[in-house]
């Protein structure tokens, strides 16, 4: 079902060293519950750092990050207020994909095989006003491409203000915006994408966090 190629753009920067299977190193340690704070700090040490995103005025450079694993990739996805979406091979310390979304990134959520990316953008039907967009990537489809969700043709955006939270429950994508709306998006097999399904009203201020609790 969910293997459609979606519309969007970006550039592939996969390194020649990236052909082999990559996995994160996981170092396990046993804690008897009596270790001091200094013991723990000695166990966790900085290994390296990567200059990833540019800071904007009054905003840190990185908006959100998420670990991500799909066919041919096991690494990190970062989203910045500089409008850049980047895929990282952490072990090789290489950026393997980059895309300019055209507006500040806000949040990102990964629910295999889909990556959901929220960002701000000015649309032709709402000039001079940034609205909240949600781009969807099917990471198992090639070439990698983005499909932007919209409420309707007359409302070509996900929220009238920035998207601050996203989660997934069953076949639903659930988003929360600065407009105080919790919005449900249902996966439709016929179009192999998510379409607007329902609004949940009840907040008078921005929705800042979401958590789906299944049965």
Q: How many CA atoms are closer than 13 Å to the CA of 18, on its beta-carbon side? A: 20
Q: What is the pLDDT of residue 69?
A: 63
Q: What is the pLDDT of residue 26?
A: 35
Distance CA 82, CA 74 (A): 24
Q: What is the pLDDT of residue 206?
A: 94
Q: What is the pLDDT of residue 92?
A: 84
- Among the listed residues 93, 97, 95, the one whose alpha carbon sits nearest the alpha carbon of residue 47: 93
- Among the listed residues 116, 105, 131, the one whose alpha carbon sits nearest the alpha carbon of residue 175: 116
Q: What is the pLDDT of residue 75?
A: 84
- Give the global pTM: 0.71
Q: What is the pLDDT of residue 172?
A: 96
Each residue's pLDDT, cut to its tens digit, for the chain (215 residues) gives: 553 333 344 545 444 343 333 333 334 344 444 555 556 556 654 455 555 555 555 555 455 555 556 566 788 899 999 999 999 888 888 899 999 999 999 999 999 999 999 999 998 887 889 999 999 999 888 888 999 999 999 999 999 999 999 999 999 999 999 999 999 999 999 988 999 999 999 899 999 999 999 87
Q: What is the pLDDT of residue 18?
A: 39
- The answer to whether residues 174 and 168 touch, using CB atoms and an 8 Å cutoff, is yes
Q: Say yes or no: domain 11-19+53-200 is CATH 3.30.930.10.
A: no
């Amino acid at each position: 079902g969910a293997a459609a190629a979606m519309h969007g753009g970006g550039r592939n920067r996969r390194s020649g060293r990236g052909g082999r299977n990559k996995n994160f190193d996981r170092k396990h340690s046993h804690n008897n519950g009596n270790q001091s704070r200094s013991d723990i700090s000695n166990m966790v040490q900085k290994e390296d750092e990567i200059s990833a995103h540019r800071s904007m005025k009054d905003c840190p450079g990185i908006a959100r990050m998420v670990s991500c694993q799909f066919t041919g990739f096991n690494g990190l996805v970062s989203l910045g207020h500089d409008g850049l979406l980047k895929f990282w091979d952490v072990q090789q310390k290489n950026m393997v994909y980059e895309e300019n979304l055209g507006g500040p990134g806000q949040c990102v959520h990964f629910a295999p095989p889909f990556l959901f990316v929220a960002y701000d953008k000015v649309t032709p039907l709402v000039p001079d006003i940034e609205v909240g967009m949600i781009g969807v990537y099917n990471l198992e489809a090639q070439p990698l491409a983005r499909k932007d969700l919209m409420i309707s043709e007359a409302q070509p955006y996900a929220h009238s203000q920035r998207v601050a939270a996203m989660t997934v429950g069953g076949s639903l994508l659930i988003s929360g915006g600065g407009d105080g709306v919790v919005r449900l998006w249902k996966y439709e097999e016929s179009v192999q994408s998510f379409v607007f399904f329902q609004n949940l009203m009840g907040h008078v201020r921005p929705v800042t966090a979401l958590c789906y609790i299944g049965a």
